[in-house]
Structure 1
Amino acid sequence: MSSAAEQLFARVSSIGEAAAERARLTVVPTSTPRPPRLPFLVLVSCITLLGVVGLLMFNTSLQQASFTEADLAERAAATADREETLKMELDDLRDPQRIAVEAAKMGMVIPSTPVFLTMDGQIVGTPTEATSEDALRITPKPQQVPAELRAQVRVVEVPANTAGD
């Protein structure tokens, strides 16, 4: 057994000596070569440029959306103003006083005793012919400004300075 161990030891030591001989004979570089810097700089520059262009496009898109929003808000305000104007015109057209005046211009007469029909077709009241003598008078409501809103005229006299002070 000792001879097998000695053979194994001799073999391992000869492998170690061969490796040591090979290691002594190889040339070891004094410094490791650096990777080239140009590709890295190009990559970083491209990423930075793409980021700046992306931010510029994003900012432009936001500004365009802001202009669109302002335009739509302006159109909505104009539409709301138009709707309010139309409602006021409709209220003026529905005014009972105005309707009565227009009816009188057409020759219609308001009866002094009106007659009504119920939902089931019954007549409530006594139907009589309306004549211009029996008609109610229609007078439009005068448009007056309340006293609080009337402008008060105040005259101030300033003496003319004729002397050449």
Structure 2
Amino acid sequence: MNSPAVQLRTRVPRIAEAAVERARLRVVPRRRTRASKVPFVVLVTLLMVGGVVGLLLFNTSMQQAAFATTALEDQARTLSARQQTLEMELDELRNPQRVAEQAQRMGMVPSHRPAYLELPSGKVLGEPAPAAPTDGLRLLPRPPAKPAVLTPEPIVQQAFPTGTPADASAPRDGRGSGGSDRDSD
């Protein structure tokens, strides 16, 4: 048999020849393949449609927020006006003049001799006396006196001079004597 070195020598050229055979370059006809444009067009269309829908949704939400803001501002103005009205009514109800007038209508009168209670000892200071209905205060000021210029003496004139009245047979319709031409027709 052949020795391993001899076998190796004979095998190597055959392997090399086979490798050279496989490694030879040859001209291959060029394949003309065009990439499909459909996926790109679909992608761009989806992006545009998504952008437009997103803008519409954003615009709609902004409009809803604007309407809500307007409604809340109107409500705030209404509530502010209501608060001012209530404060004015409260000020009117707290008016000391009004409170005193209502107290007088209810029969209340101020006490001119009040008594005070000392809290720590419970001792009464002063001599209390009940108030009388005649102890009331004048709450409304007296009307001012009318000047004499505004109340002059009346001037009296006689309708007819002394003596007999003018033609008593004259008609009393205010047209004077003699009547009018219409009466004669």
TM-score (norm 2): 0.62
How many residues end up aligned between the 2 structures?
136
Shift of the alpha carbon at 1:47? 1.5
Partner residue of 1:138? 139
Would the aligned equivalents of 2:107 and 2:133 in 1 still touch at CA under 8 Å?
no
> Structure 1 residues 31 and 6 mapped into 2: Cα distance closer, same or farther (>3 Å)?
same
Partner residue of 1:9? 13
Percent identity reads 41
Structure 2: segments with no counterpart, 5+ residues: 142-185
What is the alpha-carbon root mean square deviation over aligned residues? Answer: 2.5
Structure 1: segments with no counterpart, 5+ residues: 141-165
* Matches for 1:104-119 after TM superposition, within 5 Å: 104-119=104-119
Higher helix share: 1
Q: Secondary structure at the match of 2:133?
A: coil
Larger Rg, first or second structure (1 or 2) = 2
The CA deviation string for residues 99-131 of structure 1, in whole angstroms up to 9 with x for no partner, is: 101111222222223334455654343221212
Inter-partner Cα distance in structure 2 for 1:38 and 1:106: 95
The CA deviation string for residues 23-49 of structure 1, in whole angstroms up to 9 with x for no partner, is: 53xx72324412110221022111111
Q: Greater relative contact order (Cα 8 A, min sep 6): structure 1 or 2?
A: 1
Counterpart amino acid of 1:126? E
Inter-partner Cα distance in structure 2 for 1:68 and 1:118: 60
Partner residue of 1:44? 44
Inter-partner Cα distance in structure 1 for 2:118 and 2:44: 89
* Matches for 1:5-154 after TM superposition, within 5 Å: 5-20=9-24, 24=26, 28-119=28-119, 122-139=123-140
Inter-partner Cα distance in structure 2 for 1:107 and 1:115: 21
Which deviates the most, 102-111 or 120-129?
Answer: 120-129
Would the aligned equivalents of 1:111 and 1:136 in 2 still touch at CA under 8 Å?
no
The CA deviation string for residues 39-72 of structure 1, in whole angstroms up to 9 with x for no partner, is: 2102211111111111111111111012102211
Would the aligned equivalents of 1:112 and 1:135 in 2 still touch at CA under 8 Å?
no
